[in-house]
């Protein structure tokens, strides 16, 4: 009976298996989850010169430099007995110690928290501790992130020193755990904070409200005014009722100003401000103060390519268009007629209260030179001037009063074509002419040169059809003769067919320049200024007259006898 219990004890105290041994070992170490590459908890058992000795269980201790417990934004004082988390890189090295790291433990823990914050779009706290190319490094409680220079602040920051070493919120823009890259932004946090503040400020503002502000910045188009945490734009056109060339004429940086809120855009938080809206509108009753055609004096404030602006009173300006500046200077820049700050007399041409425009005239205060010319030089009077220009349709002559008159091609010569005569003139020639017409409205003066010589058609008296005239041959041409009536300036052209009765004698070369010939007037039209001559018609008329006087068809006399008798009789009369 006694042997039985002995046998049972032997069976109950069996030898443990390999698995049981491992389990008992881990239980004795108290670190069943510990393995290389994991974060474990250990206890500080000693602090030596610059390291801390940490018991991580497993019958093993490791050493961690004290500097790993001190960093940007944190200062942890270690004492023996403190529990700390460390990263287990290797369970045992050649010295029989565990290789552990506090920095890596913190980094692993931080990455888990940061990934969670990145996914939920939450802000994280970090400390800027160093400057690198293109930006700065930020310690996110163990994990190192990159802060681009453009993401430091809303506006460029020249000196980041005051921001370094100070815990502050950041927004994670990008994470890549495999590469160990984290990009953060401080600017995004500031913009979000400012947007919230702006929304709250804008909600308390109303259009039409009058508020005090301080000029923060000045640009070419206006000034930005700080309204106590939010900026409003004071546009240059809303600074004064008068023309303002640059905002610095009205406000200065740092100046306190009272402005009126003109418009608020609650979506973009843009606020438009005005100063002139606090003043009386000078355009009220403008038409009664400045009636059309009234004359007054103003000061030139601005000159452009298209005219000049004249201040009539503070806040009221009118425009003298370049076409209303001078009667005679048509293509001259306004700056050559008036100058800035010059006092000028002007006439009100038009007032538009709706568009806030006043049209002024400068030339209207001076005498119209065409009216003055018409008064001094009536039609028919003689004038003298210099040839200013030659065109395809006539000459332009400079006259008194800085006006031009035109001599049309048809008024250059009575007999020769104008295209031929105009070649005899050149610019600068001094010529005399007769005033034919003055059109003040169209600003035109018509002159004539040929009129000074008299009209040969009038001086020739009444020429009748059939009348015999004596002509002088001026030029012999293939088609006939160019002739001039003796004792007259009338010229005419006798065609080849009208040179003789007999066809064989119709040869122009029979005549010579300077030779005198008799011809019969076939047509004389004073209105159309046309005269036609014919030697043939004269010969036929003389033949007919001779037959009637000296013979008949049945008298037996030959035509030669009749013409001979007529010719002798004519000679006797001569």
| DSSP string over 387-455 | EEEEETTEEEEEETTTEEEEEEGGGS-SSS-HHHHGGG--TT-EEEEEEEEEETTTTEEEEESGGGG--
What does the buried/exposed string (b/e) look like for 448-458 if buried means 16 or more CB atoms within 10 Å of the residue's CB? bbbbeeeebbe
**Is 209 inside any structural domain?**
yes
Instruction: Check which CATH number belongs to the domain holding 541 and give it.
Output: 2.40.50.140
The boundaries of the domain holding residue 257 are: 205-278
In a domain, 111, yes or no: no
Of 402, 419, 453, the residue at which a domain comes to its end is: 453
Gap between the Cα atoms of 301 and 245, Å rounded: 10
What would the two tokens of residue 14 be?
A: 């069996």
* Strand ordering across the sheet containing 38-47: 61-65, 51-55, 38-47, 83-90, 99-101
Residue 83 and residue 77 in contact, taking contact as beta carbons nearer than 8 Å = no
Give yes or no: residues 445 and 513 share one domain: no
Residues 157 and 220 in one domain: no
Please tell me the number of Cα atoms within 13 Å of 544 on its side-chain side: 7
**β-pairing, 516-525 with 491-495?**
unpaired
Domain annotation covers residue 420: yes
Instruction: Please tell me whether residues 261 and 303 are part of one structural domain.
Output: no
Does residue 10 sit within a domain?
no
Give bridge partners of residue 540 from the DSSP assignment: none
DSSP 560: H
Token pair 């002559």 in the structure block, residue: 397
Looking at 314, 330, 365, the residue that finishes a domain is 365
Q: How many domains does the chain have?
A: 6
| Same-domain check for residues 481 and 413 | no
Yes or no: say if 235 and 250 are a contact pair by the CB < 8 Å rule: no
Q: Are residues 352 and 384 in the same domain?
A: no
Whether residue 196 is contained in a domain is answered as no
Same domain, 187 and 209: no
At residue 568, the pLDDT reads 64
Residue 272 inside a domain? The answer is yes
Contact 107, 70 (CB under 8 A): no
Host H or E run for residue 542: helix 535-550
Count CB neighbours of 172 within 10 A.
Answer: 22
CB 433 within 8 A of CB 449: yes
Contact 290, 352 (CB under 8 A): no
Rounded to whole angstroms, how far apart are CA atoms 491 and 485? 6
- Residue 544 CA to residue 25 CA, distance in Å, equals 168
Among 222, 247, 278, the domain boundary falls at: 278
Looking at the fold, whether 228 and 184 belong to one and the same domain comes out as no
Q: Which residues of 143-152 are buried (b: 16+ CB within 10 A; e: fewer)?
A: bbbbbeeebb
520: its two tokens: 């019969």
Q: What is the pLDDT of residue 203?
A: 81
Same domain, 246 and 318: no
What does each of the 574 residues of the chain score in pLDDT, given as a tens digit?
333 333 333 343 444 554 554 444 444 444 435 566 566 777 777 777 877 777 777 677 777 777 767 655 455 567 777 777 776 766 666 566 676 766 666 676 777 788 888 988 899 999 999 999 999 999 887 788 999 999 999 888 888 889 998 999 999 999 887 887 899 999 999 888 877 777 778 888 888 999 999 999 999 999 999 888 788 999 999 998 888 889 998 999 999 999 999 998 877 778 999 999 998 888 888 999 999 999 999 999 999 999 999 999 988 999 999 999 998 888 889 999 999 999 999 999 999 998 989 999 999 998 889 988 988 999 989 999 999 999 988 999 999 888 999 999 988 887 778 888 899 999 999 999 999 999 988 889 999 998 887 767 666 667 788 888 889 998 899 989 988 888 777 888 999 988 888 888 889 999 999 899 999 988 887 777 788 899 888 888 888 887 777 655 444 455 555 556 656 665 665 4
Classify residue 425: in a domain, yes or no.
yes
Asked if 212 and 147 sit in the same domain, the reply is no
Flag whether 5 is in a domain.
no
Distance CA 26, CA 396 (A): 121
Rounded to 5°, the CA angle 364-365-368 comes to 55
CA distance 127 to 118: 18
Q: What six digits make up the tokens of 218?
A: 């000045």
DSSP string, 118-130: HHTT-EEEEEEEE
d(CA 39, CA 86): 6
Determine the distance from the C-alpha atom of residue 301 to the mean position of all C-alpha atoms in its chain, rounded to a whole number: 22
């Amino acid at each position: 009976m006694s042997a039985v219990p002995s046998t049972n004890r032997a069976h109950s105290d069996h030898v443990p298996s390999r698995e049981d041994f491992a389990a008992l070992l881990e239980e004795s170490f108290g670190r069943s989850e510990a393995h290389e590459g994991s974060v474990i908890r250990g206890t500080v058992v000693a602090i030596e010169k610059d390291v801390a000795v940490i018991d991580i269980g497993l019958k093993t201790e490791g050493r961690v430099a004290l500097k790993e417990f001190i960093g940007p934004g944190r200062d942890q004082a270690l004492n023996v007995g403190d529990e700390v988390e460390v990263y287990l890189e290797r369970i045992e090295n050649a010295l029989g110690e565990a290789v552990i790291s506090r920095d890596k433990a913190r980094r692993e823990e931080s990455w888990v928290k940061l990934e969670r914050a990145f996914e939920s779009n939450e802000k994280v706290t970090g400390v800027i501790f160093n400057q690198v190319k293109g930006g700065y490094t930020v310690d996110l409680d163990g994990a190192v992130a990159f802060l681009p220079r453009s993401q430091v602040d809303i506006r460029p920051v020249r000196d980041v020193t005051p921001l370094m070493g100070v815990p502050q919120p950041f927004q994670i823009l990008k994470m890549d755990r495999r590469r160990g890259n984290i990009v953060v932004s401080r600017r995004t946090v500031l913009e979000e904070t400012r947007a919230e503040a702006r929304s709250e400020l804008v909600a308390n503002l109303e259009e039409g409200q009058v508020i005090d502000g301080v000029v923060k910045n000045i640009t070419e188009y206006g000034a930005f005014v700080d309204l106590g945490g939010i900026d409003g734009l004071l546009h240059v056109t809303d600074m004064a009722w008068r023309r303002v060339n640059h905002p610095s004429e009205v406000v200065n940086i740092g100046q306190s100003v009272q402005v009126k809120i003109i418009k608020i855009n609650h979506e973009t938080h843009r606020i438009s401000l005005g100063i002139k809206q606090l003043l009386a509108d000078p355009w009220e009753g403008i038409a009664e103060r400045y009636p059309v055609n009234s004359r007054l004096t103003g000061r030139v404030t601005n000159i452009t390519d298209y005219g000049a602006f004249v201040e009539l009173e503070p806040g009221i300006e009118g425009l003298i268009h370049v076409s209303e500046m001078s009667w005679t200077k048509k293509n001259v820049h306004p700056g050559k007629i008036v100058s800035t700050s010059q006092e000028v007399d002007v006439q009100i041409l038009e007032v538009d209260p709706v568009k806030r425009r006043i049209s002024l005239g400068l030339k209207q205060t001076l005498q119209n030179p065409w009216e003055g010319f018409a008064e001094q030089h009536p039609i028919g009077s003689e004038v003298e001037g210099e040839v200013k220009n030659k065109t395809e349709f006539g000459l332009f002559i400079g006259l008194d009063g800085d006006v031009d008159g035109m001599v049309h091609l048809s008024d250059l010569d009575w007999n020769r074509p104008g295209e031929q005569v105009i070649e005899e003139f050149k610019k600068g020639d001094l010529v005399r002419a007769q005033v034919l017409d003055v059109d003040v409205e169209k600003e035109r003066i018509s002159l004539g040169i040929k009129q000074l010589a008299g009209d040969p058609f009038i001086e020739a008296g009444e020429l009748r059809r059939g009348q015999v005239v004596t002509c002088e041959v001026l030029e012999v041409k293939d088609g006939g003769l160019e002739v001039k009536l003796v004792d007259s300036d009338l010229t005419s052209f006798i065609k080849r067919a009208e040179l003789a009765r007999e066809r064989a004698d119709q040869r122009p070369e029979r005549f010579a320049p300077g030779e005198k010939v008799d011809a019969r007037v076939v047509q004389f039209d004073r209105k159309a200024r046309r005269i036609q001559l014919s030697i043939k018609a004269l010969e036929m008329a003389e033949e007919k007259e001779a037959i009637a006087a000296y013979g008949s068809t049945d008298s037996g006399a030959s035509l030669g006898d009749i013409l001979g008798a007529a010719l002798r009789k004519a000679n006797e009369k001569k």
